Amino acid sequence: MDTLTALTTRVSCPRLAEPGPSDEQLDLLLRAAIRAPDHGLLRPWRFIVLEGEQRERLGDIMEAQLLEEQPQADSRTREIARNKALRAPTIIVVVADITENHKIPAWEQMLAVGAAVQNMMLAAYEIGIGAMWRTGAMANSDLAKSMLGFAAKDQVIAYLYLGTPAIGLKSLPDDAPADYIRQLP
Ligand SMILES: Cc1cc2nc3c(=O)[nH]c(=O)nc-3n(C[C@H](O)[C@H](O)[C@H](O)COP(=O)(O)O)c2cc1C
């Protein structure tokens, strides 16, 4: 698939199966990520690539985050939380390592990392790898950030789930740029 086709037809895939991306494909995705625009060249992006049993460590963090929010969570709820780390063969945790008190504000640094995530999603789509960008409470929890090795000032931008599409990709929404165009008042 060519890049313009990927840009105009990309969709997420919420059901992902083995195999995950190969080492070469992961390298390609990460090289695409670090070509994202980045005001001030602060290089705020950080990536934790989790595959196989490494995902269980993320499951531990998901359970810890749940228990912080719901200390009484029963064993079934805890298991569901842990299993969220096993929903795809590969998960890339993408974090903005924020440089504080800098002329480039934190929101711009976060957007640069968001652009890095989108670059990975597009590259994945172009080479036939399914991808799903997830966040949720795990993106804003100081406990989760700390267990991932980051500080409260940092921002988890994505848990990027990657793998082989296990369901047919959904059809494109009936959407047109004109719906979003505005004129100056
Ligand atoms: C910053 C961000 C966070 C997201 N977090 C979630 C999430 O936690 N759970 C979810 O189901 N979708 C989440 N999404 C949306 C999906 O990844 C997906 O983009 C959306 O369902 C639209 O589908 P499409 O990408 O196929 O157009 C998030 C998207 C963005 C940009």
For residue 176, being part of any structural domain is answered with no
Residue range 78-121, pLDDT digits in tens: 999 999 999 999 999 999 999 999 999 999 999 999 999 999 99
Q: List the structure tokens of 7.
A: 């840009």
Query: Closest residue (by CA) to atom 20 of ligand 1?
Result: 12
**Ligand 1 mean position, distance from CA 92 (Å):** 15
**Amino acid, single-letter form, for residue 67:** L
Confidence of residue 147 (pLDDT cuts 50, 70, 90): very high
- Residue 57 domain-assigned? no
Cα 149 to ligand 1 centre (Å): 24
Which ligand 1 atom is nearest residue 133's CA? 17
Q: What is the identity of the amino acid at 164?
A: T
Give the residue numbers spanning the domain of 115.
Answer: 12-49+88-166
Domain count, the chain: 1
Pocket of ligand 1 (CB under 6 A): 11-12, 132-136
